[in-house]
Structure 1
Amino acid sequence: GEVDGKDYFFVDETDFKRQVRDGEMLEHAHVFGKFYGSPKGPVEVAIAKGQDVLFDIDWQGAQQISNSALQEHVLSIFILPPSITELQRRLEGRGQDTAETIAKRMQKSWDEISHWSGYDYVLINDDLDATEEKLKTIVTTERLRRSQQPGLVEHVRALQTEFEMNNDLQVIGK
């Protein structure tokens, strides 16, 4: 039910491998028999406009992005389940995977969880609303970092120029 250009951009395996080879992917992986990746171009454009880009990727993809040319813009958040039992219940409750796929995901989950300490923030998703609020707080706070505010340097320079011009006018008027 996923739509090309909305949920994902679907390409054939040959084109995907070419994009990886040509450095057009910000991150990529082969997971559960399928190729996944994030094209670099649209991400760079969005970041240049000051927009946030959200990735739902495994730890290897997160490392690839963190080690990319965009690393100064990366904020990594790992969301832990409250328990392994609850993780399995949630996967089964989605109703979109076969029992075999769920078993594979559960097996892979420990490998993912074992990399929790490589993230900037870690949340335990034991209450969806509370976790969402914490996530919003983290993102809002990080947006306020100097390095994440496009145009801030130019704004400060404009203030400095204005101050200097006003200061020059005061000196002339004395």
Structure 2
Amino acid sequence: MLRSVALLRRCPVVFISDLQPRLLQLVLPVTLTRPTRAMSQNALSVQPIVISGPSGSGKSTLLNKLFAEFPGCFAFSVSHTTRNPRPGEVNGKDYHFVTKEDFVKLVEESGFLEHAQFSGNMYGTSKQSVRDISSSGQLCVLDVEINGVKSIKQSDLKPKPRFIFIKPPSMDELRRRLQSRGTETEDSLKKRLDSTQEAMDYADSGAYDHVIVNNELEVAYEHLKGILIADIHKIQADKLKKGQ
């Protein structure tokens, strides 16, 4: 499922002579409670990013480096859930906490890109949450597992997201990384490796636009940044034009 972190810091100004001015105007954001409400496609001129990869692939480290270098240019979509807030969690920041009735209503209205149930609670990524981030002038990041990727691929989200898979160099290396954490039992390790093999087979089928093998962190990071740099420059140019 999606991470529930909203990155709200401003994007730094970058003085690059060939930055293009903003071509399209953003529309006013609409509320999360009306996911089927019409919205101008101009607000979605930058492709959302769907990123996936098994635990231990280094996906979180790569994203943290990207957000640190370009603060305010990215934001994670905030998931909906029917579970109760935990101490310290904030509605609208960590999750959108909703009733089961409201969640089911959104499902019936085709308001989710993907949704699932875990331990009796429902979780989902709303289309509106992605639109809200896009309309704010940030690049929306969707961090999902294989089933979420498949659901989003079948959705009608426009523009079509860019799909990126972070791949460990080998299963042996992934096993070593997971064991080095000291948090896995033999049973949980086996389950992780089994699900990883399924995810890697899906990636090898050509399901993603980009597959990044994270053997050397800095090399993998430059690969990821290179894929997204044109969109980053577009966002920076827009903020420069608005004096932010």
Higher mean Cα deviation, 78-87 or 22-31? 22-31
- Which residue identity is paired with 1:133? E
* CA distance 1:89–1:55, shift in 2 (3 Å): farther
The corresponding residue for 2:132 is: 45
2:219 is equivalent to residue 130 of structure 1: yes
1:120 Cα shift? Answer: 0.4
**Residue-pair matches, total:** 150
User: Scaled by the length of structure 2, what TM-score is found?
Assistant: 0.50
CA distance in 2, matches of 1:10, 1:56: 19
The corresponding residue for 1:28 is: 115
The corresponding residue for 2:80 is: none
1:111 Cα shift? Answer: 1.1
The corresponding residue for 1:103 is: 190
Q: 1:81 aligns with which of 164, 168, 190?
A: 168
CA distance in 2, matches of 1:26, 1:33: 20
1:35 Cα shift? Answer: 4.5
Unaligned runs of 5+ in 2: 1-85, 239-244
Q: Within 5 A, what are the aligned runs for 1:1-174? A: 3-5=89-91, 6-9=93-96, 16-30=103-117, 35-116=122-203, 117-142=206-231
Query: In structure 2, the residue corresponding to 1:54 is in which secondary structure?
Result: strand
Question: What is the aligned-residue identity percentage?
Answer: 33
1:142 Cα shift? Answer: 5.0
Unaligned runs of 5+ in 1: 152-174
Query: Greater Rg, structure 1 or structure 2?
Result: 1
User: Scaled by the length of structure 1, what TM-score is found?
Assistant: 0.66
From the two aligned structures, give the one with the greater helix fraction: 1
